[in-house]
Amino acid sequence: MAEFHHRYMNTFVSTSGINPPDAQRVFDRMAAAEQRYSRFTVNSELSRVNGQAGQETPVSQSFAALFFEALRFYAETDGIFNPFLGNVMRSIGYDRSFEQVDRHHALRHNVPPTAKQSSFTFDLEKQTITLPADIALDFGGIAKGWTVQSAAQSLLSMSRPRGLINAGGDLMGWTDSDHAQWKIDGSHPFSDHQSIGRIAFDSGQLGVATSSTIKRSWSDGTQLLHHLIDPRTGLPAASNIIQATVAGPKLLPCEIYAKCLLILGSSQGPAWLAAKHPELSYVFVDQSGKITASEATNMPHIRVVFLKQIDIP
Amino acid sequence: MKKVLAPVVGTLGAGVIVLSGMAHFAHADNPFSSSQTSKPAASSAPSTQNGSSQQAPDIKTLGLVSISYHLNHLDQLASNQIAFWIEDEKGNYIKTLRASSFTAGGGYKMRPESLPEWRKSADWAHASQAKINQVKLPEQSAGSHTVYWDCTDASGKAVKPGTYIYKAEGNIYWQNRVVFTGKITIGKKNTDTVAQAAYKPASAKTHGTLLENVQANFDSGKRIASVHQDPTTSSQGS
């Protein structure tokens, strides 16, 4: 099985079972997405839109497409997924590419309150966005998930029988029954090299995404912070889940709902997710190391086997 | 729907806005979705200068070497680490095929007894993160497995016809190791060979059998895309 890899969006991106020209197509998409959606690239389209908050700003078709998806998930998740958190990220010190964040004394920024009388406009005909002043977009994981899913769907539309694209744990694979199954290990929250379970599927397509409060965490010198914001508080989520994995037919809902599950916690999240998307399977690890998995899956071609308990350092 | 105009109805937490009138949006069709299949900008081709990619050009290679082995799990400390790599006939390092993720990922800094022969040959202390990610092998189940060499070197270039050495190293118990060594000739003919085990020190064998039946075969003209290998994919959180 050929494997190719590159680094985009501060993430290790790899392809498996995909021929070299197709792998190059995937990487081209990732490069384009990084250039378009990065909050940390001064001349990205996202930075331009954020820099013109308060003004009507024309956007590209690709940008409009992703923004439309972000709004769709905003509505579907009752605002638990919120793409308007760019300034909140700055306020907690995540103001640069993560490898450049001072993990022990991150610089925090004051964010002025947003006027309640303001409004937000997305003109679909003119393809323009008008953000409220002092509000910034942050696409984060949705841009990565959207790009991987788009790349996978593009290859599927070209009748490629098998492939897998993995962008830092947000992955989408597909295979027909004539080929070997895909096996996807779930990593330990504190060690990428240690597996805590496995998802396998024989045929069809599958998206898998994992959100963690451990991987991108830092301190401002007084308190521990991480990048998964609970929009109800404007602060890093304080639920009892430290890692959540969601699997389903497409990657993007998995990416969104893994984040939401983690934000909502073990008491509220599973029932909320089951009510909205019963077709999605989930596995999460709580602060004590207990692993909880959804009881049943509506995808008979996948098998989910995880440990029940792991040690937490 | 031509325009989404949503008043800000809440600011729960500085910088967070809550919009009203969005409920209908959950089921709306994305009018821009054709962009999913649009071509990315021509100027956005990935850089190849940092060496972090096994790049895409389809390389014509001599064939495919399949190295099969039987793995046992040893229920003891500082064990179960394995690595497979290729050297030329003079012992010059060519390429690492796979190495246990703990050691490949830097675990040898905590446990310097881990796979020392492979690390020295590969100069692994200076390996890039991309190279580490490329070769790391998650824990495998006990049983028979195969790793593949596509007859390219560490930079991805096709190697010349000739005789090469394939090696498999395994940590049995702390510094007690086994190293399998075999020679395989690649060219126009298919070949099969069996590797010989050397226990280091000789008494290492008394601590258990980690690897067995290490053997290789070369299929002239076969491409790596034609085989299935245990994936190393994992979803590790972001």
Q: Report DSSP state, residue B100.
A: E
Tell whether A27 is covered by a domain. no
Same domain assignment for residues A115 and A231: no
Tell whether A166 is covered by a domain. no
What pLDDT is attached to residue B107?
81
Residue of chain B with shortest Cα separation from A185: B234
What pLDDT is attached to residue A55?
92
Tell me the shortest Cα–Cα distance from B31 to chain A, in angstroms.
7
Q: Range with the lowest mean pLDDT among A197-206, B132-141, B151-160, B183-192? A: B132-141
What is the complex's ipTM, to 2 decimals?
0.75
Please, which pLDDT band fits residue A227 given cuts at 50, 70 and 90?
confident
Same domain assignment for residues A185 and A311: yes
Same domain assignment for residues A117 and A210: no
What pLDDT is attached to residue B42?
30
Inter-chain Cβ pairs, chain A and chain B, closer than 8 A:
274
What pLDDT is attached to residue B52?
30
Is the pLDDT at B232 greater than 70? The verdict is no
Is the pLDDT at B50 greater than 50? The verdict is no
What pLDDT is attached to residue B159?
94
Please, which pLDDT band fits residue B11 given cuts at 50, 70 and 90?
low
A185 touches B at CB < 8 Å: yes
Percent of chain B scoring above 90 in pLDDT: 45
Is the pLDDT at A238 greater than 80? The verdict is yes
Q: What is the CATH number of the domain that holds A228?
A: 3.10.520.10
Is the pLDDT at B80 greater than 90? The verdict is no
The pTM score is 0.65
Q: Which residues of chain B lie closer than 8 angstroms to A245, CB-CB? A: 235, 237
Same domain assignment for residues A134 and A216: no
pLDDT digits (tens, 9 = 90+) for A287-307: 999 999 997 666 777 888 899
Six-digit token string for B148: 């593949």
B101 touches A at CB < 8 Å: yes
The answer to whether the CB atoms of B23 and A166 lie below 8 A apart is: no
Same domain assignment for residues A196 and A310: yes
Is the pLDDT at B207 greater than 80? The verdict is yes
A196 touches B at CB < 8 Å: no
Is the pLDDT at B35 greater than 90? The verdict is no
Instruction: State chain B's mean pLDDT as an integer.
Output: 79
What pLDDT is attached to residue A23?
87
Please, which pLDDT band fits residue B131 given cuts at 50, 70 and 90?
confident
Alpha-carbon distances, residue B120 vs A33, A120, A197, A259 (angstroms): 39, 59, 32, 42
Give the residue with greater pLDDT, B226 vs A305.
Answer: A305
Tell whether A46 is covered by a domain. yes
Residue range of the domain that includes A78: 40-138
In the predicted model, what is the mean pLDDT of residues B227-232?
56
Q: What is the CATH number of the domain that holds A57?
A: 1.10.3980.10
What pLDDT is attached to residue B213?
94
Tell me the shortest Cα–Cα distance from B156 to chain A, in angstroms.
11
In the predicted model, what is the mean pLDDT of residues A56-74?
93
What pLDDT is attached to residue A285?
97
What pLDDT is attached to residue A244?
96
In the predicted model, what is the mean pLDDT of residues A247-265?
96
Give the residue with greater pLDDT, B74 vs A147.
Answer: A147
pLDDT digits (tens, 9 = 90+) for A118-141: 778 888 888 999 998 888 999 988
Give the residue with greater pLDDT, B88 vs B45.
Answer: B88
The total number of structural domains that make up chain A? 2
Same domain assignment for residues A107 and A190: no
Is the pLDDT at B57 greater than 60? The verdict is no
Name the residue ranges covered by the structural domains of chain B.
Answer: 63-224
pLDDT digits (tens, 9 = 90+) for A173-194: 999 877 778 989 999 999 888 8
Tell me the shortest Cα–Cα distance from A301 to chain B, in angstroms.
18
What pLDDT is attached to residue B10?
60
Same domain assignment for residues A191 and A300: yes
Tell whether A133 is covered by a domain. yes
Tell whether A4 is covered by a domain. no
B49 touches A at CB < 8 Å: no
Please, which pLDDT band fits residue B46 given cuts at 50, 70 and 90?
very low
A242 touches B at CB < 8 Å: no
Same domain assignment for residues A189 and A306: yes
- Which of A84, A111, A138 is the endpoint of a domain? A138
Is the pLDDT at B225 greater than 80? The verdict is no
What pLDDT is attached to residue A112?
63
A233 touches B at CB < 8 Å: yes
Is the pLDDT at A269 greater than 90? The verdict is yes
Strands B143-149, B63-71: pairing is antiparallel
- Which of A76, A111, A138 is the endpoint of a domain? A138
Max mean pLDDT among A32-41, A83-92, B118-127 falls in: B118-127
Tell whether A229 is covered by a domain. yes
